[in-house]
Amino acid sequence: MRPLRLLAAVAGAPRLLDARPTAPPYSLSGARGTAPAPDRPSTRERLRAWAELLRVSALFTVPGDALAGAAAVGRRPDRGTALAVGASLCLYEAGMALNDWADREEDAVDRPHRPIPSGRIAPGAALAAAGVLTAAGLALAGRAGRPALAVASGLAATVWAYDLRLKHTRLGPAAMASARTLDLLLGATATAGAGAGATSGTTAMRGTTATSGTAATRGTTGTRGTTATVGTAKAVGTAATVATMSGGAGGGATASAARSAPAVRPAPGRTLTPGRTPAAALPAALLLGAHTYAVTAVSRHEAQGGSTAAPLAALAGAAGLAAALLRGRAAPGGPPPSPPTAAGRLLLPAFAAAYLRTSGVPLLHAALNPSPPLTQRAVGGGIRAMIPLQAALAARAGAPVGGLAVMGLVPLARALSRKVSPT
């Protein structure tokens, strides 16, 4: 029986050799089937890669810069503040994309899971995103006025210089601190510029001639001047007419124009301090820059760990900043700030305590055990601590409601940081 079986197997061999596997009724290659190709990431995976590249969980630390700047110049957040927030967000994300592009070779060794070394995002795409976001940030700042555009240009130059040249030098922490300082000053400059336009722009449109006293003076010299005054009053408004009828050379016209101009509304719970320039925001900006300097110094050791001095120095700096927040000082560049309200006196210590807890506890753990995970956690805590710091700066400037609005970002930042690391 065995020879017969062997002969049958040999006789059927050609049929077996010619046999071809039949194609399945569907394909998993993505060409005809519903499942995507194995080598092509899904839309959700691509979005997550970009979220990791841009570190979107750290975005909530940005709007408070502009709000604290607006509070420092004694004005209520307005259109200029909103433009400053948009510009800051774009420039911040540009720095994140550029940072990963510049560190792609280093991350391939220390952080191979990052989007660029893992191949989820092409290096050219990250660099292009940095350029587009920078242009968008400058465009938004330009809408807030030339002074705001000048500050934003300095901020963009600082961000690019840090990522491309200064990050791994001794000037790295100072450059990053300068960027945060300029970001708060951007909010102050944009808000002060928009506020000045709101107070003087309408007056200039309705009664420029009357305010300067030119038309009223001409009205007292003769019939020709009086006719010109009446004509101007018809074209501009009632201010010049009142001035001409009352016979005032300049004072009456100025008073009428001032009465017709809309007043800038102060922030809730505070009194508007007129004449505050963006320089008044410099002390608050320097405090925020000092915190940024300490966090950046700690971040230089987050990949390898092993540094105890940097977390200890940052912890001492956080304690000093919390103490400085509770000591109100007059800001240069204008009259002294209005005294804090009852709400401000209650919220300021709470915000300062929240800042110290958010930044100090992880720094203490990193100082006791300077391992890479604890050091990275300390850096993340320092980034999130910027939110209560900004809230405290706003409350110290007399805007407790603005501080509460900033603190409302804390739960969002904490929830998103569980999904996307801010470091």
Return the amino acid letter for 251. G
Q: Which residues contact 22 (CB under 8 A, 6 or more apart)?
A: none
Distance CA 229, CA 400 (A): 48
Q: Are 419 and 57 in contact (CB under 8 A)?
A: yes
Radius of gyration for the chain, computed over Cα atoms and rounded to the nearest angstrom: 31
> What would the DSSP string read from start to end of 269-290?
TS---TT--GGGGHHHHHHHHH
Per-residue pLDDT of the chain (423 residues; tens, 9 = 90+): 455 454 445 445 444 444 444 444 444 444 444 444 446 778 899 999 999 999 999 999 999 999 999 999 999 999 999 999 999 999 999 999 999 999 999 999 988 999 999 999 999 999 999 999 999 999 999 999 999 999 999 999 999 999 999 999 999 999 999 999 999 999 999 998 865 554 444 444 444 333 344 433 344 334 343 333 333 333 334 333 333 334 444 444 444 434 444 444 444 444 434 447 899 999 999 999 999 999 999 998 887 877 899 999 999 999 999 999 988 654 444 445 555 667 778 899 999 999 999 999 999 999 999 999 999 999 999 999 999 999 999 999 989 999 999 999 999 998 888 888 888
Alpha-helical segments (H) within 213-250 = 214-221, 223-236, 239-246
Residue 380 is inside which H or E element, if any? Answer: helix 372-384
Q: Are 394 and 270 in contact (CB under 8 A)?
A: no
Kindly provide the b/e burial profile for residues 280-304, where b requires at least 16 CB atoms within 10 angstroms of the residue's own CB: bbbbbbebbbbbbbbbbbbbbbbbe
The single residue listed with the structure tokens 């956690």 is: 377
For residue 62, the model assigns a pLDDT of 97
For 40, left (φ over 0), alpha (ψ -120 to 50), or beta? beta
Q: Are 411 and 368 in contact (CB under 8 A)?
A: no
Q: Tell me if the pTM is above 0.85.
A: no
> What would the DSSP string read from start to end of 313-377?
HHHHHHHHHHHHHTS--PPSSSSPPPPP-HHHHHHHHHHHHHHHHHHHHHHHHHHHS--HHHHHH
Q: Which residues contact 265 (CB under 8 A, 6 or more apart)?
A: 76, 272
